[in-house]
Structure 1
C-alpha cells in the first residue's frame, strides 16, 4: 500500500497528456475562414495537466504521469508544473520525442477548431506507467491505492491493459476521453465494467453509437452498455451522475461564456476533490458544476 504520511507523496495520480496549450481567443463570433483580432496565449495544458492543476488549487497533491521531451519546451513545462504545485518526479522524459502541443481557436460562440498533437505520449506507450507497475508508486503485488485520473490521449490498447492490469486493481479509476474524436478509446471501461467515466453528451453518443438529447438518457444507456459509474454533462443544460444505485441530474449555474477549453477537465477535477472532502453525491455534483461554470465565465474555479 502506498504511504501517504509523507506530504511529498501524491494523493492522486493524473495519467495522460501534459503539454503546451496554444489558444487563440477572439471576443467576436467566428466561423470557418474567419480572420479576427484577439489574443494568443501559451499555457500548460493537456487533460491530465488541467485536472492536476485544478486538484492542486483544491488542496490535493497530484502527481502527473506523462511523456515530456528533453527539449527547451519540456524543461519550461516541468518548471511550470513545479510552480503550480504538481509532483513531476515520475514523468517519463524522452531523449528523442518532442514535447506535445495542443492548438485551439475560440470565438464568442465557443470552440471553432482544435488540434491535439499528442504523438509523443502515444509513442511513449506504457513507459509512462513504469512507476505504477515497477515502483515506486506501486507494483502488481502491492498496487497503488487511491484515485487515478486517466485521459483518452492514451492509446486504446494501453487503456484496455489498464482496465485489467493487476497494478491498477486497488485504484479508483476516473476516466475522461480527452475529446469527442477519442471517445471510443474509453470502450474498455464499458467492456470490463470498471472506473468512473466523465463524458459530455457527444462523447456519450459516440461511445454508444447513437445520438442523445439529454444527459439522463445518455447516462442510463451507458450503464446498460456495461459502465460501472458515469457523469454525463450537456453544456449549460444539465449533468447526470449515475451508477447501479441510482441517478441524479442537476442544472449548472447560468454564466456568460468567456472560454471553453478545459471546462470538462475542471468539472472532473472539482468532482474528484469534492468526493475527497467527503461530500455526498448531490453536493459533489453541485460543487463540480459550480466550479466548471466559474471557470467558463473566465474566473479561477475557486
Structure 2
C-alpha cells in the first residue's frame, strides 16, 4: 500500500461512514483523488464495499515501549566533557512502536498497546503512529506521568556512542492493564514484545498468550535477561551479539560461533533465532536444523537507531505472508538497510515496493 492509502485506511477504521469530500478536505487532496485511492483499496481487497466495510485480516499485537527519540549526530569526533557542533532531531520511537510503524507501512494491521503521558510528546507519538497506519486506540494516556524519552548521541560513523532513556512510565504497563486486552492478545496472528516491559508483565503475557506466537526483541544486554525464564515460550528471538552472549553465556566473536549459540537457544525452546552481528551480517537458525548467514550490504549509515526494529518488522511481515525464515531475512535486511539510510528513526517511505526495489538494485 502507498502511504496515502495507509492514511485513508486509518481514518476509515475510526469513521467508516465519512463522506469522500470530508475525507479529501482532511487529507488536503481532491475528492477525485480520494475516489481513486478508494478504488485502488477495493481492488486490493482492503475495502469490501459500500460504507467502507474494511476487510477482516490478521493483525499483529505489539506491546512495549513508545517514546520520543531525541537524536544528536555529528561528523566530528565526540569528546567527553565538551560540546560538539552537530544536528539534533526529534522523532517518534520506542521498540514496540517502531516495529508497529514499520509493519503498518508494509501494509499490515498493526495494533499497539503502550502507555504515554498526557503531554506534547505523548500526543505527538500517538498522532504520528496513527498517521503511519498503526491502530493506537488501545493505548493508555496517563495524566500523571511523563512520556518515555530516549536521548542518543551518534558520531561520524552513524552508530550510537551513548544513550540515556527515561522510561519509568512503562512500569504502569502492568498485568492489571493488560488483562483488559486479553482477547486482543489471544486473537492476534502474532504478538511482538520488547524487554522494556516489567518482569511481571512479561510473566502475565506468557501465561495468557494462548497459541499466539511470540516475537521478542531483546532491547539491551541488561533488559534481555528478563526473558531468561520464558525462552521456551518464544517463537522468534532477535538478539545482537552482546545480548546473545549475555543470555547464553557463550562467546559470539564471529559468525563461526553462531552455530553453538543457536544450538543453546534451541535447547531452551526458542523456535527461530536471528543474530544481528553488525558489519558481519546476520545469522539465522531454525529449531528444525536449517540455518544460514546473510552478509551485510555496504551502506552509508545516516542513523543506526531503528534499524533493528525495521529488521524485526520484516521478519514478522514474512511470518504473516507464510514465508520461511530463510526467505524472510533478505526482505527484513532490506528494511533495515533502508532505515539505516534515513535520518529519522523510521524510514518515512518504507513499503513493500521500496523494499522490492532495494532488493532488485542490490541483487
Q: TM-score, normalised by structure 1?
A: 0.88
Name the counterpart of 1:200: 240
Distance 1:19 1:7 in 2: 31
* Higher mean C-alpha displacement, 12-21 vs 33-42: 33-42
Residues 1:189 and 2:230 are matched in the alignment: yes
Aligned residues: 290
**Range that drifts further, 287-296 or 32-41:** 32-41
Structure 2, unaligned runs of 5 or more: 1-45, 47-52, 355-363
1:275 aligns with 2:275: no
**Is the 1:159–1:188 contact (alpha carbons within 8 Å) kept by the matching residues of 2?**
no
Q: Aligned pair 1:228/2:271, yes or no?
A: yes
The 1-side partners of 2:54 and 2:305 are apart by: 34
Distance 1:116 1:32 in 2: 19
Candidates 114, 136, 139, aligned match of 1:91: 139
CA RMSD of aligned residues (A): 2.2
Residue equivalent to 1:35: 83
Q: Secondary structure at the match of 1:93?
A: strand
Q: Judge conservation of contact 2:189–2:320 (CA < 8 Å) in 1.
A: no
Contact 1:51 1:265 in 2 (8 A): yes
Residue 333 of structure 2: aligned partner: 289
Measure how far apart 1:221 and its partner are: 2.5
Q: Hey, which of these two has a bigger chunk of strand by percent?
A: 1
2:262 alignment partner in structure 1? 219
Paired with 1:231 and 1:72, the residues of 2 have a C-alpha distance of 36
Q: Which runs of 5+ in 1 are unaligned?
A: none
Aligned to 1:101: 149
For residue 126 of structure 1, report the CA deviation from its aligned partner. Answer: 2.2
Measured in 2, the distance between the counterparts of 1:40 and 1:287 equals 30
Q: Deviations over 1:49-77 (max 9, x none)?
A: 11011111111121110111122332222
Query: Which residue, out of 149, 173, 198, partners 1:124?
Result: 173
Which structure shows the higher helix fraction?
2
* Alignment match of 2:304 (pick from 260, 268, 292): 260
> Which residue does 1:12 correspond to in 2?
60
TM-score (norm 2): 0.74
C-alpha displacement of 1:128: 4.3
For the residues of structure 2 that align with 1:163 and 1:180, how far apart are their CA atoms?
21
Greater CA drift, 248-257 or 261-270:
248-257
* Higher CA-based Rg: 2
C-alpha contact 1:229 1:242 (8 A) present in aligned 2: yes
Question: Could you tell which deviates more after superposition, 40-49 or 219-228?
Answer: 219-228
Q: Which residue of 1 aligns with 2:288?
A: 245
